[in-house]
Amino acid sequence: MNTEELACQSKYLHFRPVRNLDKKDLIKMGECIFNFNFLDSIDQDEIKSNLYYELKIIDSWSVHLDSTKTIANVRSLLWPGYFAFHKANSKISAGVYIGFGIKNIDMAYMQ
């Protein structure tokens, strides 16, 4: 990823079983072998909250750049304790979860 794409949530992917129906079809047809776009991106993770009788869509991820704008810090708001980073124009990245395995059920009140 270059520095312009670093803050874009659609560039970060889940390494888990696919939930998107279109991408599931690619896998069933065997097309995912030749297509690099077969994983779900984190920008599709939306939480619907019914706060004050108003339906709101809340992002469940936070992407922040450091002061040099070359390293992105990615955090999960739904699972506190998950942290990842990626350095621009390199293959350097990592992710770790250090938490209690308790979902943040108060996300509607955070925004």
- Residue 47 resides in a domain: yes
Cα gap 30→70, rounded to integer Å: 36
Residue 103 is which amino acid? K
- Residue 59 resides in a domain: yes
- Residue 82 resides in a domain: yes
The whole domain housing 50 covers 9-109
- Residue 2 resides in a domain: no
- Beta-strand ranges (E) seen in 52-104 are 54-59, 61-65, 71-76, 82-87, 93-97
- Residue 4 resides in a domain: no
Cα gap 75→67, rounded to integer Å: 17
* pLDDT 10s digits, 66-103: 999 999 999 998 889 999 999 999 999 999 999 999 98
8 A C-beta contact, residue 49 and residue 108: yes
Q: How sure is the predictor about 110, in pLDDT bands with cuts at 50, 70 and 90?
A: low
- Residue 3 resides in a domain: no
What predicted TM-score, i.e. pTM, was given to this entire model?
0.72
The residue behind tokens 């925004």 is 111
- The region of weakest confidence among 14-18, 48-52, 77-81, 95-99 is 48-52
- Residue 26 resides in a domain: yes
Q: Which range has the top average pLDDT, 8-12, 52-56, 79-83?
A: 79-83
Residue 49 has pLDDT above 60, yes or no: no
Residue 13 has pLDDT above 90, yes or no: no
